[in-house]
Each structure stands twice: as C-alpha cells, then as structure tokens.
C-alpha cells in the first residue's frame, strides 16, 4: 500500500516541478519582441509611403494586412507557438495575436472537415472578441445617434 505524502513532501514536489521564471526576463522579452513587431510595422509603413507612394490610410491598411499575413504564416508553419513562448506578451500586439488566435484553431481542427472542424472551431478564441466588439460599436453608434437627434452633438 502506497503512503500518502505529507504536506511538506507534497510542497517540495510542487516546488521542484514548478517552472522557474524571471519577471524581469519575461518583461524584457515582451518589450523587445513587441517593439520589434512595431518596428517591422513602421518599416512596412515607410516603404508603402516612400517607395509605393501610398496615402497614409492605404499604408496603414497595408501594414495591417502584411502583419496579419505574417502571423498566419508563422502559425501555419508552427513557428508562432515557440516564438510566443519566448516572447510572452510581446506577440500579443493586438493584430498579430488576434490573427494567431483565429488561425490556430482552424489549423488544429482541419482534419475534422471544413464545416465541423474549421467552421466550428475557427472562432472559439476570437469569437467573443468579435461578438463584444461588434455589440459595443453598435451600442456606441446608437448612443451617438440619439445624442445627435436630441441636439447634444
């Protein structure tokens, strides 16, 4: 019959198995990687404006499209997860992290088919963000419209 470990033995086991981390190192990785993603975005922006003579608006759209495309490609080639593990919160720069959260379940469940795999699972993580984002923008639009009608704005 196996003896139950004491609280001290259990605590020692938990401490030995718990991964060690440094808050400073994690913050540095997040700062560095998030900054590099933003620098990449600015480089794309400057190339779009200076080389391709795009308007500011079109250059920003181009940056968004390229960053989303790169994030999805990194997810598809399974480079995003190891990168995110090292970068931590740095890869959560909104557009790249959001693209990964949409592409990841789609890739993971593609074997289950187009409808029941990709179609059902693609928005498991991003779905609530999209839902509440659309609802919040609708609500703000209605409030704006009401204030405009009664003459406040």
What would the pLDDT profile of 91-137 be if each residue is shown by its tens digit? 887 788 888 888 888 888 878 887 777 777 777 777 777 778 889 99
Look at residue 75 and tell me whether its pLDDT is greater than 80.
yes
Mean of pLDDT values over 29-49: 96
Answer yes or no: is pLDDT of 2 > 80: no
Contact 96, 79 (CB under 8 A): no
Spatial neighbors of 112 by CB under 8 A, at least 6 apart, are 118, 121
Please say if the pLDDT value at position 66 is more than 90: yes
Model confidence, pTM? 0.71
Cβ-Cβ contacts under 8 Å for 113 (sequence gap 6 or more): none
Farthest-apart Cα atoms in the chain, separation: 80
pLDDT class of 89 with cuts at 50, 70, 90: confident
Q: Cα–Cα distance between 81 and 6 in angstroms, integer? A: 37
Tally of CA atoms within 13 A in the half-sphere of 30 that contains its CB: 11
- Residue 71: C-alpha distances to residues 7, 77, 82 (Å): 45, 10, 13
């Amino acid at each position: 019959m196996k003896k139950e470990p004491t609280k001290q033995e259990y605590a020692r086991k938990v401490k030995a198995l718990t991964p060690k981390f440094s808050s400073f190192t994690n913050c540095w990785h997040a700062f560095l990687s998030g900054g590099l993603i933003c620098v990449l975005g600015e480089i794309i922006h400057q190339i779009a404006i200076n080389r391709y003579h795009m308007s500011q608006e079109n250059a920003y759209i181009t940056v968004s499209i390229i960053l989303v495309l790169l994030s999805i490609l990194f997810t598809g080639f399974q480079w995003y997860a190891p990168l995110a593990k090292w970068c931590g919160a740095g890869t959560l720069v909104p557009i790249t992290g959001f693209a990964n959260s949409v592409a990841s379940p789609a890739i993971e469940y593609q074997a289950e088919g187009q409808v029941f795999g990709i179609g059902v699972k693609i928005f498991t993580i991003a779905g609530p963000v999209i839902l509440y984002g659309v609802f919040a923008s609708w609500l703000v639009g209605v409030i704006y419209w009401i204030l405009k009608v009664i003459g406040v704005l």
